[in-house]
Amino acid sequence: MRQILAVAAAGFVAVAVAVGVAGATATGDDTIVTSGSPPTPFAQNKQNEPAVAVNPIDTSIAAAGANEEIDIEACNNRADKTCPFTTGVGTSGIYFSDDGGSSWNQPTYTGWTARNCLGVVGTQSANPLDNCDPHSGPIGTLPRYVENGLVSDGDPAVGFGPQRGANGKFDWTNGWRLYYANLTSNFSGQRSEQAFKGFEAIGVSRLDSQNYAQAKAGVNSAWKAPVIVSKQNAALFSDHEMIAVDDAASSPFFGNVYICNAAFRSQEIGGLPEPIVVNSSSDGGDTWQTRQVSQAVNNNTLGGRQDCTVNTDRNGTLYVFWDGVDSNTRTDAIFMTRSFDGGKTFVRPAQVVTHFVTTGLRDPESGDLTFDGVTGARDGSFPTVDIANGAPSGAGATNEIVLAWSNGPTPSDTSPGANEQVHVLWSRNGGGTWTSGGIASPATDRPDFPAIAISPNGQDAYLTYMDFLQPWQSTTAAPRLFEGVVRHADVSSTGAIGAWSDLHRAARTGDARASSANALTDEFLGDYDYAFATDLGVVAVWNDARDAADCPAIDTYRQMIVDGTATSASTDPNRPAPNNDCPATFVAPSFFSAALAAS
């Protein structure tokens, strides 16, 4: 991804900003993105972890991805109190825009599906309608996975780049190519039939401009067959990938594609060790090379590392960032390394860019850090990065790097304090030195999972995040309202980032309690937000729950788990059946756009 960050949740909003200067004002209301996703039932109405990219050579075209559960079975299929991910059914949603993000199209393809497996109220073992199995049919996710023995498993990352010509060289005149990276699992549980080794791989789908109209119309063959990117072994779980396409024609590595991810090498014993690796391709994604760029150790002395992001400047320098633990100070830090030869070698050791204070508080139920309260949405202070590389030509690039993260500590209802802040750093000398870009969030906001972007010409910086309106909650009794926010700052000719101000705030708030993991015991809002800037403006996506209804029965059940009077087992008598005991729009998604223009 060109720029990133993480989140947890029920749905996401996309905001299109047609502006390249300060003083922008909203010119339209939020517009829905997931036009093909149903408002009910759970879990078919669940999306999260949005990603977005705008085509540098034609900025009217944008593509978005998300974890999309439209095709999995509903909770009432078989037992009403279980809401499983249906084996073999993909969850990598794809959405297109032809007007810069102001409106969206969600195509329907053919693949392995359970979208008509809605079940009936009550467990009726003899009723065929309550025992529906997945089968070939309509899907709202990436096509051509089941045909290749694979399952698309979400964690989307998208990027546009040029195509290669007959002479083997990349050029925008050959057309553009969309890359969609995602987690990928084997369709078959039989080892002899598996397409790769290990538990989860990184796969990439590709779509060329010549086939774009067919892809929007739902033609499977418009997409190339998915390719396995990561170097797998029998114990490997590849996770949380991000993508960058070298999209500036001035670069000697123009057209290269880079995907970073965390490589959990011992999945059976807790995922240790876990290095950051970078997968690179110089032939349009046909073949890939994998190189480790960080330490692998994760133990009680030195913690692990996750949440990488990659990006390139106009000269083809590849930058890789991630978070981990500084071995010298034993504190959390953001690391950076670079490659000057197209991803073949990397500078070692990695540089510590900055230390940070994590956000969120430890959830007594899950043990995870959560941002909004007990049994809440998981959290993390992940790095988000963008570079003004002058794409598509590279002309006028400043090569300014902008870096942002959400810094704690987190206030709670029992221990008040100052809110979290989005910190920003910038560099114009390749990350050699860093200068403060200020605090990008107002003191009244609690910003979760910020995503930063800078225009290719380096004149405008943008930021999006989820703003929570209450402190961390020690019970599930009170609302946990949040809203999507987009902010903007001018960037001077010297690189200095000016004052940050609001471009857009979501028209309505949502309650995070109305989101849910499929296990029902916790909320789930995903793992990141995203923003993509052009010289005309920005398209930003974030998780949203404005149309989702809170379920008191779920709130009570989650509180009982915290109190120790209920368990997470599906057979627990206190566990609700979501589609029987909750409002119909429990976990209903919200994916929207809002057009903003210069005043």
Q: What is the mean pLDDT of the chain?
A: 90
Does residue 439 surpass a pLDDT of 60?
A: yes
Output the CA–CA distances (angstroms, integers) from residue 496 to 402, 423, 491, 499, 562, in the order listed. Answer: 11, 14, 6, 10, 47
Q: Could you give the CA distance from residue 511 to residue 175 in angstroms, rounded to a whole number?
A: 43
Report the range out of 28-37, 96-105, 346-355 with the highest average pLDDT. Answer: 346-355
What pLDDT, in 10s, does the model give residues 447-499? 999 999 999 999 999 999 999 999 999 999 999 999 999 999 999 999 999 99
* Average pLDDT, integer, range 299-309: 81
Percentage of the chain beyond pLDDT 90 is: 79
Nearest to 341 by CA among 316, 311, 310: 316
* Average pLDDT, integer, range 49-65: 95
Q: What is the pLDDT of residue 29?
A: 56
Q: Could you give the CA distance from residue 578 to residue 285 in angstroms, rounded to a whole number?
A: 42
More confident residue, 265 or 151: 151
Q: Which pLDDT band, with edges at 50, 70 and 90, does 34 fall under?
A: confident
CA 377, distance to chain mean position in Å, is 14
* Average pLDDT, integer, range 72-98: 95
Q: Could you give the CA distance from residue 259 to residue 270 in angstroms, rounded to a whole number?
A: 24
Does residue 140 surpass a pLDDT of 70?
A: yes
Q: What is the pLDDT of residue 76?
A: 95
The CB density around residue 340, as the number of other CB atoms within 10 Å, is 16
In DSSP notation, 102-124 reads SS-B---EEEEE-TT----SS--
Please give the backbone phi and psi of residue 179, each rounded to the nearest 5 degrees, phi first. -105, 135
* Average pLDDT, integer, range 558-571: 97
Q: Is the preceding peptide bond at 456 cis, omega within 30 degrees of 0?
A: no
Q: Could you give the CA distance from residue 416 to residue 395 in angstroms, rounded to a whole number?
A: 49
Burial code (b: 16+ CB inside 10 Å, e: under 16) for 250-269 equals bbebbbbbbbbbbbbbebee
- All structural domains of the chain, each given as residue ranges with its CATH number in brackets, are 12-598 (2.120.10.10)
